[in-house]
Amino acid sequence: MKVLSLANQPRGVRLRSVASYLPSRVVTNDDLAALGAALTPDEIVRLSGIVERRWAADDEATSDLAIRACRRAVERADLTPGDISRLIVATVSPDHASPSAACFVQRALALGQAPAFDLTASCSGFLYALDCAVRAVLTGDDHVLACAADVRSRFLDMSDRATCALFGDGAGAAVVSSCPPGEGILGIGLLADGTGVHSVYVPAGGSRRPATHATVDAHEHTIRMSEGPQVYLAAVEGMAETSERILGALGLSWSDVDLVVPHQPNRRILERLTRILRIPAEKMFIDVERIGNVSGATCAIALDEALRTRSLPEGARVMLLAAGAGYTAGAALLRIDSDLLARSRRPDA
C-alpha cells in the first residue's frame, strides 16, 4: 500500500461539502422476520447490533439515490452544476449492467460534458472514489463529485442467515475541491488482496455466469458470504492496517486523531476494531444500528452524520476507514475546517 501524502504537494485538496440520502422506507428487524428472515429480531441485534435499515422504494434505483446525495452536496458547496469538473460513482448495484449509473446521475444533474464513470470496490467504494477525486484535483480539476451509492436490498435472500439482515440502501457524496497546500485531506491510501474474491459476492448475473432460469431458481443473484469468520477478520485487519500506515506515513499517532469514521459492517466488528486500535470508545463513530451496512456508501453517510451531530472543533483530524469484499480497504485522514462544518450543519433547501 502506497500512501498519498498531500503535505508536499503544490496544491491542497479538501472536502468542500458532504451530503447523504437515505430512502424513506424504514425496515425493522420485525419487518424482516415478517418477510421470512432466517434470523429472529433478537438474533439480528445480538449478531450485528442492527435494529433497522433503510430500503429503496420500488421505483427507486441506485442512480436515484446518488442523484439526491450529489445534488445536496453541490447545493451545500454553493456551486452550480457547471462548476463540477468530474463525477465518480462507486457502486456494486448499478441501475443496469451498461451504461454506468454515473451517466444517469450526470444527465439528471445537468453536468454538461463533465466526465462521469462508475467504479467498483465493494464496501470500500467511497474511499476509492475519494482517492480518484483527490488525484483529479491534484492534476488540475477544481471541483470533483465523489459519490457512493447502493441498493443492496434487491440482492438479499431471506433464507441466508449470513446476509439477510445486514444490508440497507443509501448514498453519500462529497465535493472535493482545491485549497492551499497543507490544508484539508492530509493523506489517503488504498489496498486490495484478490484472495478474497469469493468472500462476499453475487454468484450469477455477470459474464461468467449469465442469468438463466437455473440461476434464478437457485437464488444465485443474491449476496453470498460463505466465509463469515474470515470476512470478519479481513474487515478488522484491513481497516487497522490502512489506518496505521496512513498515520505512520504522516508521522502521527492515534492520539492525534479526534474521531474515527469507519465503514459500518456490524457493531461487533467496530467494537473489536476499537480495541485493536486502542482508542477510547467515544472516538469511534457508530451508526450501524439505524442504517445497517450500505456497502460503499456507508462511510460517506456516517461522515455526513458525524459532521452534523458531533461537536468537532475547527482543525479536528478525522480518520475515514473502510474494508470490503475482494478484499479491498482504504483510509483517509482529514483536517476539518470551519467552512465544511458550517456547510454540513445548515439545513438543506
Cβ-count burial 182-203 (b if 16+ within 10 Å, e if not)? eebbbbbbbbbeeebeebbbbb
Which residues contact residue 279 at a Cβ distance below 8 angstroms, ignoring those fewer than 6 apart? 254, 257, 260
Provide the 8-state DSSP code for 64: H
Element (H, E) at 21: strand 12-21
Element (H, E) at 20: strand 12-21
Q: Which candidate in 29, 147, 179, 263 is catalytic?
A: 263
CA-nearest of 101, 68, 98 to 87 is 101
DSSP string, 240-263: HHHHHHHHHHHT--GGG-SEEEE-
DSSP string, 45-58: HHHH---EEEE--T
CA-nearest of 23, 43, 27 to 35 is 27
Q: Is 221 a catalytic residue?
A: no
What's the CA gap between 221 and 193, in Å, rounded? 24
Residue with cell string 456494486:
92
How far CA 267 is from CA of 4, 29, 74, 285, 321, in Å, comes to 30, 15, 32, 11, 15
Q: Which candidate in 103, 123, 132, 164 is catalytic?
A: 123
Q: Which candidate in 132, 147, 266, 293 is catalytic?
A: 293
Helices (H), 185-287: 213-217, 228-250, 267-277
Which residues contact residue 140 at a Cβ distance below 8 angstroms, ignoring those fewer than 6 apart? none
As a whole number of Å, the end-to-end CA separation of the chain is 41
Q: Is 123 a catalytic residue?
A: yes
Q: Is 147 a catalytic residue?
A: no
| Residue 150 contacts residue 94 (beta carbons within 8 Å) | no
**Residue type (1 letter), 223:** I
Show which residues are catalytic.
123, 263, 293
